[in-house]
Structure 1
């Protein structure tokens, strides 16, 4: 059956109407949940917002209302809106620039873990079906002069509607946008387009091609020590402090660490609510506020450590180091074909412990003689497929949610799956400590575990992470920070666990990470700030390493080559 052609005006009107009404279901749901629709004024605001979104999208589509451009552009907007709607409805996330960065940096394993039948149904209903109808319906375009005039008139009329509706609802609209800032990132697909534009513009705004060096004066204060240091930095993933039994959680999710004499800082907070935001920030010498406001990009913690003369190795069981390991030796264990414990869902974190001795032997021998810093980037508790983050033999909390569509599971089963992933992290960290103990005869060993961000597990119908920091719940920002030090490391630093334990409720954050690691390694540099070193007050000889010092004597390298190897 041959369909009757429609005019471009009606095609634009219908497409923008579908996007405004069905494509913004998450926005209308959020306004209802916030109590905005509890009175007549709220309903009038809803009508005004529908008109604003509808008319603004109509103006956009009118610009492209030409034979070769309209349907491809409309298809793109429909599919963007469909995917954004699913994630906002299912997990309560918003499409801000940080979420766009997360989407761009998502690897194959993470993407497949998010796939589910509810997602397929939502995308089919909101995106695919209207797209099929759009392409099936013929559009009769006028000759280009008249089509141009029609498009311009539609744009002017639509923008007039936006202005009129905005002025008529200015006070309640301004109040909603001021008090519920996340709402602006639910306006679909405008939020996706705006956020993608912001992300695309950042390289030019910050001159990302010009990496600014830091710590050019860095050196080891104990360069002549007979024993090298071996520091393991474990970068946790999606671990929230509230679910660690070390921090008072009623479930025993960290039984092995509890027997290792670790110190857990209970009041630690992240720099961001996503890996892409937190990792570059926590490895930076800047505070969270300074990092967000920076005009250019700088080298990070690993660059300073390497410049001081230590060997550095980054092992990644995730989707990458977000740029912080680009200038140091690094290995993605997922890509190693012979990696044990890996399948289509990725690798369990214990795979990073395989062959560590050989990996260290392959590092620069002169640097390794001074000391080694290993960084292990966990898969941790990465969601929504929490059930994949622990082996079958270690699932203490049942039943588990075994679906990526967390909203379809009972909240308790979601928590069970997540807690099993935390218990597996406990097991992994305990095995890492056991490996460090085997090297105590050759090195002073220590481990610091800090998660990049937390997670929402259904509180207030929010799941996963990534909300803007200013509106994100504490569960997405309150993270575990666990420290283990060997007896020889404590003696080296003049530091006691009892002193650290007395400070375990002190409020700290990722702002302290850069400086605390430098302090543990006794690296002298002008970028170090003693006041941001959480361990400084517990070292009997922390020294004042905040002043610039001359570069180390490179002639010492030959002598260090004969020092004890790790």
Structure 2
């Protein structure tokens, strides 16, 4: 029989219970049930049998998110129970096939235990935050810093992992594996692999009519198969770079120069680009949200664009993409790395600086320009007021800002300055940490990183308080820019990297693969503010800009819009993707008239 080896000569015959004997029969008559089970587990077994048992256990104990999702999709038990049975068969066969490559000796026990732990951790986060374990999520997780990891740790995580891990850990520790010659072990493992492959193929053929449309219409299901999806995604992220050709950096800065406005104006421009974090457009009061989460921005008469979509659903995907000249499709299809917006601005002769309030950094965007962390170095008094450990509120980026700019090369500052501030913003799940007590207007708020422990009302309060804090931070930044008007023509653009799920469709956080991510993870806020000096410098029409606030935009527009505002000429600039191109100079009058004509009678644009 497959997987049942002959009795090894290295074990004395009297140590193994007779076939058919009850567990614990070799023990004393007064043995407890636990002792009997422990004795039964300690009997010699083939590694293939252990692999089959472990696969069965993981399919049942570590796939509750998948079973719940199949039940939700199916609706009626008559629909989802056959789907669950088919997926269970495929899960077991797939896991056995994968683990058959490890069915060798007792030295494989740590690998098996690691697979169990990985499955347990993956199930916890799938249950708690409704995420899926696709390669993008794993890549994002691998770039998570210590502070973000700390936010994700909880007693619930420990309990959920122990619940899955305890039984197989005990069994793996106690089980004895029968040694076999290499050749015998190899062919038996091969037979096991072929057997489960044939069984899986038969199951797929028998249930193909139901299975094919289910998987085609619900692509996320394939990333919920645990531990197969976690192992695949981990391998994809860690091993795929080893088999890729070495990327080279493609320059895009050739032919870059400053435009005519620099010769005609007495003051240089000062442009602040704030990269937001995890902000949703529909939670900005400026965009019609029922709660007034943005009073500071409203008081400063900013322009808020209401139909903007991100390049990705996580920071690792979105931030490099939004600064790329390639656009979303080109960026995702690229074979090599390319210089980005910051490289072009620096090549033009402007002073550029990236200030980061995320320990995860700029994701490679600022590697070739001056950059710094907002909390290093930091005055102890400021750190005490704004920071907890190495994690600080975004106001920390405004501390010492004048000194940071003064340290930039004088000859570049004389031409103009572009400052990027990368927020901590509304990063979850610990939303309550993203706002200071004086802006917490929405109470009670969720004060746990285990979002399931909080009501939806408390969760929304914590998130909205973080948006209110971003509103105040942006208001302070605009006030700082106004104070620079004697020396510069200032302006600000704020754009979030991605949105966030707050329980809609049972989803939390972000990072769902873009193709089937909900709108709330892709619809992001974008806000602009221009001083009178910058408007005059670039001949910007306020009426034209106000009439275009509902124009559909994406992260693809950022690269070209910033170059247009800063009047930087470069071959990669595309006027059609510049969100403000039509509102500058002579074109602004025509653009304003055409937009006004498109507004129905009795309505105002925007």
Do both proteins adopt the same fold according to a TM-score greater than 0.5, normalized to the shorter chain? yes
Q: 2:135 is matched with which residue? A: 97
Q: Hey, what's the Cα distance between the residues in 1 that align with 2:388 and 2:331?
A: 37
Q: Is the 8 A contact 2:70 2:83 kept in 1?
A: no
Q: 1:327 is matched with which residue? A: 368
Q: What is the CA deviation profile of residues 455-493 of structure 1, one whole-angstrom value per residue up to 9, with x for unaligned ones?
A: 000111110000011111110000000000101000001
Q: 1:560 is matched with which residue? A: none
Q: Hey, what's the Cα distance between the residues in 1 that align with 2:352 and 2:521?
A: 30
Alignment coverage as a number of residue pairs:
542
Q: Is the 8 A contact 1:519 1:542 kept in 2?
A: no
Question: Against the structure 1 CA distance between its residues 139 and 201, is the aligned structure 2 distance closer, same or farther, given a 3 Å change threshold?
Answer: closer
1:55 correspondence with 2:93:
yes
Q: Is the 8 A contact 1:206 1:294 kept in 2?
A: no
**1:42 deviation in Å?**
3.6
Q: 2:519 is matched with which residue? A: 474
Q: 1:23 is matched with which residue? A: 62
**1:202 deviation in Å?**
5.2
Structure 2, unaligned stretches of length 5 or more? Answer: 1-34, 589-606
- Secondary structure of 1:331 counterpart: strand
Q: Is the 8 A contact 2:256 2:569 kept in 1?
A: yes
Q: Hey, what's the Cα distance between the residues in 1 that align with 2:327 and 2:437?
A: 40
Q: Hey, what's the Cα distance between the residues in 2 that align with 1:33 and 1:533?
A: 43
- Secondary structure of 2:338 counterpart: coil
Q: Hey, what's the Cα distance between the residues in 2 that align with 1:404 and 1:458?
A: 14
Q: 2:214 is matched with which residue? A: 176
Q: Hey, what's the Cα distance between the residues in 2 that align with 1:21 and 1:334?
A: 46
1:416 correspondence with 2:461:
yes
Q: Is the 8 A contact 1:272 1:453 kept in 2?
A: yes
Residue number among 262, 266, 286 corresponding to 1:246 in the alignment: 286
**1:288 deviation in Å?**
1.3
Q: Is the 8 A contact 1:452 1:479 kept in 2?
A: yes
Q: 1:307 is matched with which residue? A: 347
1:367 correspondence with 2:412:
yes
1:491 correspondence with 2:536:
yes
**1:71 deviation in Å?**
1.0
Q: 1:516 is matched with which residue? A: 561
Q: Is the 8 A contact 1:345 1:388 kept in 2?
A: no
Q: Is the 8 A contact 2:247 2:335 kept in 1?
A: no
Q: Is the 8 A contact 1:79 1:128 kept in 2?
A: no
Q: What is the CA deviation profile of residues 397-450 of structure 1, one whole-angstrom value per residue up to 9, with x for unaligned ones?
A: 000001111112100100000000000000000000111011100001000000
Q: Is the 8 A contact 2:481 2:490 kept in 1?
A: yes
1:294 correspondence with 2:334:
yes
Q: 2:236 is matched with which residue? A: 198
Q: 1:534 is matched with which residue? A: 579
- Secondary structure of 1:216 counterpart: coil
5 Å matches for 1:83-122? Answer: 83-122=121-160
In the superposition, the TM-score normalised over structure 1's length comes to: 0.93
Q: 2:31 is matched with which residue? A: none
Q: 1:378 is matched with which residue? A: 423
Q: Is the 8 A contact 2:94 2:228 kept in 1?
A: no
1:144 correspondence with 2:144:
no
Q: Is the 8 A contact 2:71 2:80 kept in 1?
A: no
Q: 1:161 is matched with which residue? A: 199
Q: 2:29 is matched with which residue? A: none
Question: Against the structure 1 CA distance between its residues 129 and 346, is the aligned structure 2 distance closer, same or farther, given a 3 Å change threshold?
Answer: farther
Q: Hey, what's the Cα distance between the residues in 2 that align with 1:334 and 1:542?
A: 44
Q: 1:550 is matched with which residue? A: none
Q: Hey, what's the Cα distance between the residues in 2 that align with 1:542 and 1:348?
A: 41
**1:207 deviation in Å?**
4.2
**1:151 deviation in Å?**
1.5
Q: Hey, what's the Cα distance between the residues in 2 that align with 1:524 and 1:541?
A: 19
Q: What is the CA deviation profile of residues 470-528 of structure 1, one whole-angstrom value per residue up to 9, with x for unaligned ones?
A: 11111000000000010100000111333211110111010101000110000001100
- Secondary structure of 1:256 counterpart: helix
Question: Against the structure 1 CA distance between its residues 364 and 159, is the aligned structure 2 distance closer, same or farther, given a 3 Å change threshold?
Answer: same
- Secondary structure of 2:511 counterpart: coil
Q: Hey, what's the Cα distance between the residues in 1 that align with 2:324 and 2:245?
A: 17
1:5 correspondence with 2:50:
no
Question: Against the structure 1 CA distance between its residues 457 and 472, is the aligned structure 2 distance closer, same or farther, given a 3 Å change threshold?
Answer: same
Comparing both chains, which one has the higher relative contact order based on Cα–Cα distances under 8 Å and sequence gaps of 6 or more?
A: 1
**1:216 deviation in Å?**
1.2
1:433 correspondence with 2:478:
yes
Q: Hey, what's the Cα distance between the residues in 1 that align with 2:503 and 2:230?
A: 24
5 Å matches for 1:526-565? Answer: 526-540=571-585
Q: 2:5 is matched with which residue? A: none
5 Å matches for 1:264-303? Answer: 264-303=304-343
**1:137 deviation in Å?**
2.3
In the superposition, the TM-score normalised over structure 2's length comes to: 0.87
Q: What is the CA deviation profile of residues 16-72 of structure 1, one whole-angstrom value per residue up to 9, with x for unaligned ones?
A: 111211111111111111126x25454223212111110111122121111254212
Q: Is the 8 A contact 1:238 1:451 kept in 2?
A: yes
Q: Hey, what's the Cα distance between the residues in 1 that align with 2:348 and 2:390?
A: 38
Range moving further from structure 2, 373-382 or 215-224: 215-224
- Secondary structure of 1:383 counterpart: coil
